[in-house]
Chain A
């Protein structure tokens, strides 16, 4: 099993959710986050006063999946979240040791 975490542009969330549902991902967790990447933030000007935008708002999604789905999941997220512009985000993949469905006590791939 794998845990796929992706940080994406907030307005791309719906498209990514639809793309993941379409390939059979059963559930995702979404968190509003802030951060910076290679561009490090930038300076903006409002009413003559400068201010530094250190962290940009992003959305982080997490999906626990069977290992054989990994390539399709990565492809789906990559396609749906892509705008071709700076700040599209990143996908991180982790090994997932165990999953438990709390209601039934099922474990492993059955709990996904």
Chain B
């Protein structure tokens, strides 16, 4: 009975109440920040005395905000491309390969995902300082790639696992070379895995804070670092404006993913 919604009796209302309250709890801060970004109070008083677009104007007027956004974007794009490519090659090896320690190797590749990021951030920071790559684009890209790769491998391996290799073999029998068969037959079939890998890699890099804090220099900052640095000083509403734009980006991305998933399903 407990797993039948209609037969729970008054318990149904308790569960519903807790769920609705939790959903409201999860949603409240997001809506709040969006509302705040249009409020005219410097000290973030809510409800605000008036409404304004001033903070957005400040945001776009400050070249450092735009620069940091562009830096984040560039890094994220490069990381995404590398992550999907490397993840693809690795997944083929992990899914199709037959060698000792295959499962252990897969666990090793997934480890950066489950370890505390701060340990990784500090380790990479020290390492890059030693080899002179601290505070450089290359350092950033490599660090983010280490974090994004596990997600990529996970998505692509799972899609590849669910793909019946006989279809690829059939293509080879039809006359295609093994590489051609993979490109023309397998890749389209696992495109949803590639897409997930790309989305997760992009987001991992774009949103990444901890490693970026260590990797950044005064001349090279990603957007999260700019937000972090600003927040350490004061709670200016400009951050609310930046946050709202980031929230919009999330919603757009979620909608985009949903649409692409529907298209790929055909």
Same complex: no
The residues of B with any CB-CB pair to A shorter than 8 Å are none
